[in-house]
Amino acid sequence: MRFEVLTDIGRKRTVNEDCAAVFTIKDGPTLAIIADGMGGHRGGDYASSTAVQILGEKFLKVENPKSLDEEDWKELLQEMILYVNRTIFNIAEKDENFKGMGTTLDAVLIYGNKGLVTHVGDSRVYMIDEREILQITKDHSFVNILLDSGEITEEEAAKHPQRNWIMRAVGSEKFITPDFYNIELNGQTYLLICTDGLSNKVDNERIHRIVATDGDLRDKAMELIRLANEMGGEDNISVILAGPSASEVSQQ
């Protein structure tokens, strides 16, 4: 797959607390990571960048990656995320400037035509093809709890005053449990990983229309960010957009 990674400060913020990156082991799997930091005097950007950096570095140091199966990777990623969580939590405990910091964390491991998604917080992972857009992850948010219980509708959730309250974040507690999802990718599938600066502003129908239309991958990623800014841009906006390579498309 080909990847485009874009992050934008938005129109209202003075600091970009998002971080996004893609790491690839030579002739091996790829790990795409996105994080949206929060809290503390200067903790948000530190939490997100630290999470992405540590997770990426640990991934690149994995020995014999080709010999690992799905369960091996799941166990490794869980260990890595728990290590990241402890690191950020301990720094926040010791330094008043970082007190209360944490970060969302979504990472997608891609190996062959399979993917393993790990998720903490309210950043999102979508799979998109010409027919549909499918949200893979489930937000760890207060509003999502209300949605699941039937107390509010989707329309009410979009305008709820507590829609940005998240119930789980890396570094905010001593122990966390990341969610895991298995996905399969074919030569026509796009993968979108984004922070809520996009998903809170641009609805699924528009995202689907932009991504599924023929065109350059980078142009699509830029259009998503442009549209989020046009809709207000109150938050930082980050996008990792992965699309089929030319060889994959030609085989279809």
Q: What integer pLDDT is reported at residue 247 of this predicted model?
A: 44
What is the DSSP track for 180-235?
A: EEEEE--TT-EEEEE-HHHHTTS-HHHHHHHHHSSS-HHHHHHHHHHHHHHTT--S
Q: What integer pLDDT is reported at residue 125 of this predicted model?
A: 99
Q: What integer pLDDT is reported at residue 179 of this predicted model?
A: 98
Q: Are 137 and 98 in contact (CB under 8 A)?
A: no
Entry pTM: 0.93
Domains, in order of start, for the chain: 2-251 (3.60.40.10)
Q: What integer pLDDT is reported at residue 176 of this predicted model?
A: 96
Q: What integer pLDDT is reported at residue 162 of this predicted model?
A: 76
Q: What integer pLDDT is reported at residue 113 of this predicted model?
A: 92
Q: Which stretches of the chain score pLDDT less than 70?
A: 40-41, 246-252
Q: What integer pLDDT is reported at residue 39 of this predicted model?
A: 86
